[in-house]
């Protein structure tokens, strides 16, 4: 398939997208509006601030009056090894990637920054590590 055909097909798809999303007249008035794919705008990680509360051994995100959190426990003071116990997200914020943000923040902190081993008691974190398959996580996961 030649590149001219691909470009024409992409332009046609963009025009159809504008008509569907913004209506026929808006698509004609605003031809520069095009669909965005794989953009940082779709990434929720910039929406929320993750706070690491070392005293209470948790990472959390405040969401209005609610709090999503990931709790851990130090299981070996000499090595700093931790047990990642539990992740909880308020019902109203489930399915928005909040647990994923907490998981990434905690795992990056322990595996990459501190280079300590961790036990994955939390089922969600087990799933996250399996799906993301990062060498740093695998190297620091206690079996």
- pLDDT tens, N- to C-terminus, the chain (143 residues): 444 455 455 555 556 555 555 555 544 554 444 443 333 334 555 689 999 999 999 999 998 899 999 999 999 999 999 999 999 999 989 999 999 999 999 999 999 999 999 999 999 999 999 999 899 999 999 98
Name every residue whose Cβ is closer than 8 Å to that of residue 63 and which is 6 or more positions away in sequence: 48, 90, 92, 93, 98
Domain definitions of the chain by residue range: 3-35, 42-142
The 10 Å Cβ neighbour count of residue 61 is 22
* Nearest partner of 84 among 108, 103, 62, 66, judged by Cα: 103
Report CA-CA distances (Å) from 66 to 29, 89, 99, 105: 42, 9, 14, 19
CATH class of 42-142: alpha beta
Whether 50 contacts 60, CB under 8 Å: yes
Q: Record the tokens describing residue 58, joined without a space.
A: 């948790």
Half-sphere exposure at residue 94, Cβ-oriented, CA atoms within 13 angstroms: 7
Position 131 scores a pLDDT of 96
φ, ψ of residue 11 to 5 degrees: the values are -65, -40
Q: Give the separation between CA 61 and CA 59, rounded to whole angstroms.
A: 7
Cα 55 to the center of its chain, rounded Å: 25
């Amino acid at each position: 398939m030649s590149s001219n055909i691909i470009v024409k097909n992409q332009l046609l798809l963009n025009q159809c997208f504008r008509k569907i999303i913004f209506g026929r007249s808006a698509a004609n008035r605003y031809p520069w509006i095009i669909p965005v794919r794989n953009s940082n705008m779709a990434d929720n990680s910039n929406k929320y601030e993750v706070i690491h509360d070392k005293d209470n051994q948790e990472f959390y995100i405040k969401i209005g009056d609610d709090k999503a959190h990931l709790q851990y426990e130090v299981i070996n003071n000499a090595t700093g090894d931790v047990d990642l116990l539990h992740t909880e997200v308020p019902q109203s914020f489930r399915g928005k990637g909040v647990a994923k943000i907490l998981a990434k923040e905690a795992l990056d902190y322990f595996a990459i920054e501190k280079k300590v081993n961790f036990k994955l008691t939390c089922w969600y974190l087990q799933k996250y590590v399996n799906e993301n398959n990062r060498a740093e996580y695998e190297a620091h996961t206690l079996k």
